Structure 1
Amino acid sequence: MRRILAIATVIIVLASCNSKPEGYTLKATVTGELENGTQVYLKTTDSLNQLVDIDTTTVENGAFTFTGSQEKPMLYYVFVEENRGNIPFVLENGAIELKFQKDSMNYAKLKGTQQNELFMNFLTESRKLSERARSMQNDMRTAAQKQDSATVTSLREEYIEFQDEVKTFNVDFAKENPNALISVLIIGNLMMNKSVPNDEIKGMYEALTPEMKQSEPGEQLKEQLEKQKATDIGGIAPEFSAPTPNGELLALSDVKGKLTLIDFWAAWCRPCRAENPNIVSVYNKYHEKGLNVIGVSLDARAEDWTKAIENDGLAWNHISNLKRFQDPVAQLYNINAIPAAFLIDENGVIVAKDLRGPALEQKVAELLN
């Protein structure tokens, strides 16, 4: 009889170890003077990256709790009434513990579930890098106030090297933790900012665990990668049409030359405006040999768009739906950041992407001479 009871106990223990939690409990402890009844909000972001309210509770004796069920792990945020900032964490089924001080929410501590342990590992190192960044920026500001140009130049060079260090940290973390939701978000950010080559992005995505690929950010990343295939070098540039400054529809096929530059830009984009003189120079030099340019503006106001065209002397064709990154042409070309550009031949084949400065003229000269 004892043997049967022992076996039954082992079976129950094993079953409980293998079963997944059916819901989540987020228990938070706050230090600092927070009055009882202070509102706390649980939020996440929608498909347009806008914050949406999910749940609300109140602080009682320096603590609050959220409970519910979450099908897939997702990044959520805790906001405290009349407090600056928020606390990001991964909402997943299980017991999540959160501890923070009222006036330093940026240094909250998370534990209790696998995703939050991984997220905490990332945050710990990321916060150290943020501290270094703030220190370097303060030093640059002080040097600038003293008009110490040599120190400012030295610090700027140091800061550029530091940015490479930050990128390396993010890439390494994502590669070393393919089971972390934060890794999926890192890969998406690297892809959006074009910080690493597309082939490396694809490799990092493929290395993710099945669970992370099936997460909502993982599915979004897959969709972005599939969209990107349509605009890879060697592919056919998707056809489009949009209004000109005069309100007439203009199609890509209407302006195609021996070589055509599709330039995504905006009046508010400083790097775009800085690159415009170079494009003007290349256009003036090679237009008669077959180079055409079509500018796709991601502005929201027509007056800003047309004024920038005039001020920068952009004597080529222009189109815009005045919807910023929601522009259908930008979405067709999977544009998440500008400047961005595609160089296509007379057959519409993409022969180069995102060339700027001397590299643009070098490629145009190679293809037209």
Structure 2
Amino acid sequence: MKTALLSLILMATISTIQAKKATFSLSGKTNNFENGTVLYLKNNLDGKLIDSSIVANNEFKFNTKISKFPIRVLLFNKSFSHWRDIWLENNAMSFDASESDFKKAKITGSLSESLSQKLYENTEKLSFEERNELEKKFVQENPNSIISAFILSVFSRDWGKGFTKEHFKKFPADIKKSEYGERIFNYLSLNGNIKVGDLYTDFEISDTNGNPKKLSELLGKVTLLEFWASWCGPCRKENRNLVQSYKNFKPKGFEIVAISLDNNENKWSEAITKDRLSWSNFCDFEVWETKASLIYGVYGIPDNFLIDQNGKIIARNIRGEELNKKLAELTK
């Protein structure tokens, strides 16, 4: 009995030591920061603030309880004049920008961060296409890295279902179950590769009052399925044209169903009021993970689908005078 108890105590002690070794912290050094400067950690995946720390004598420290690792975060100051993306791991990490630009700080204690730094070193002068090929090659050669899942979740819609499915299958179970893995799975499960000439695909989403509606309940007239967001400058500019088109063609049987990719209800609501969007407005606050955007393959906004009275998609990304001309034909 005594031996068994000693064994349990020993095991508990070892576990405690291991837990202490595995506790996350981030100790940092800055260069010419004023005392009292506040630095923030934000989850890059959902945009939520994780923690903040105050700089004193060009040093700061985070001792933050985080439930999942690795996690990609943004470290930044209030004015956003200094910022840096970092892969955090459940270790004691260090951040040293005492002799460098904040964005080029030396970071230790995270294998994921080291791998990310190696991937993106000397890429500043590469074109988007060259950098994209570099990332694609990384995904192909590093199926066991969370960074591959992050990259694939970002570019799955660009690279297509074939490439995405092939390389998602190679990920180990823990990475498939990560939030990035779930995003890739959602894309593979929901994306319908919808094209002009196809019938619409139904989905359900909540309106400004929180009431769920199906797209099928809103069709029957010539309908523009419009994807936008309050934070999207070109979308807000296009809203002015849509307001005029809606005014001209609504009496003739034209409707707009607007799906927002916002994540802030107040900003969404304010934009609807300010832009005078009197048509049906919907949002689930999932941004690019909005089910409707996944189904319709929307990976840039503004984007839209023009659907006729019979539910057939007759145009995509149609705007301005081209839209007005088409509406004149369809609503004679």
Q: TM-score, normalised by structure 1?
A: 0.55
CA contact (8 A) 2:42 2:73 kept: yes
CA contact (8 A) 1:30 1:100 kept: yes
Offset of residue 24 of structure 1: 4.1
Alignment equivalent of 1:294, drawn from 256, 263, 280: 256
Offset of residue 122 of structure 1: 2.7
The answer to whether 1:318 aligns with 2:317 is no
Q: 1:184 to 1:175 in 2, by over 3 A?
A: same
**Residue aligning to 1:144:** none
Q: 1:33 to 1:292 in 2, by over 3 A?
A: closer
Q: 1:81 to 1:24 in 2, by over 3 A?
A: farther
Alignment equivalent of 2:138, drawn from 146, 158, 173: 173
**Residue aligning to 1:117:** 114
**Residue aligning to 2:72:** 75
Letter matched to residue 188 of structure 1: S
CA contact (8 A) 1:275 1:356 kept: no
**Residue aligning to 1:23:** 22
Alignment equivalent of 1:215, drawn from 162, 175, 178: 178
Offset of residue 118 of structure 1: 1.0
Q: Secondary structure at the match of 2:147?
A: helix
**Residue aligning to 1:197:** 160
Cα distance in 2 for residues equivalent to 1:243 and 1:65: 38
Aligned positions of 1:142-291 closer than 5 A = 162-191=127-156, 194-228=157-191, 236-238=201-203, 242=207, 252-253=215-216, 256-257=219-220, 260-265=223-228, 269=232, 271-272=234-235, 273=237
Alignment equivalent of 2:274, drawn from 304, 321, 330: 304
Offset of residue 124 of structure 1: 1.6
CA contact (8 A) 1:24 1:96 kept: no
CA contact (8 A) 1:99 1:110 kept: yes
CA contact (8 A) 1:297 1:318 kept: no
How many residue pairs get matched? 289
Q: Secondary structure at the match of 2:133?
A: helix
CA contact (8 A) 1:27 1:66 kept: yes
**Residue aligning to 1:85:** 82
Alignment equivalent of 2:48, drawn from 47, 50, 53: 50
CA contact (8 A) 1:74 1:215 kept: no
CA contact (8 A) 1:250 1:319 kept: no
Offset of residue 74 of structure 1: 1.0
- Show CA shifts across 1:202-225 (max 9, x none): 444334333322323323443454
Structure 2 unmatched runs, 5+: 1-17, 261-267
Q: 1:179 to 1:346 in 2, by over 3 A?
A: farther
Offset of residue 92 of structure 1: 1.8
Q: Secondary structure at the match of 1:236?
A: coil
Q: TM-score, normalised by structure 2?
A: 0.60
CA contact (8 A) 2:202 2:214 kept: no
Q: 1:62 to 1:166 in 2, by over 3 A?
A: same
CA contact (8 A) 1:267 1:304 kept: no
CA contact (8 A) 1:240 1:251 kept: yes
Q: 1:216 to 1:251 in 2, by over 3 A?
A: closer
Letter matched to residue 89 of structure 1: I
Cα distance in 1 for residues equivalent to 2:129 and 2:137: 12
**Residue aligning to 1:331:** 290
Q: Secondary structure at the match of 1:320?
A: strand
CA contact (8 A) 2:31 2:58 kept: no
RMSD, aligned α-carbons: 5.3
Offset of residue 105 of structure 1: 0.8
Q: Which has the larger radius of gyration?
A: 1
Offset of residue 20 of structure 1: 10
Identical pairs, percent: 21
Offset of residue 104 of structure 1: 1.2
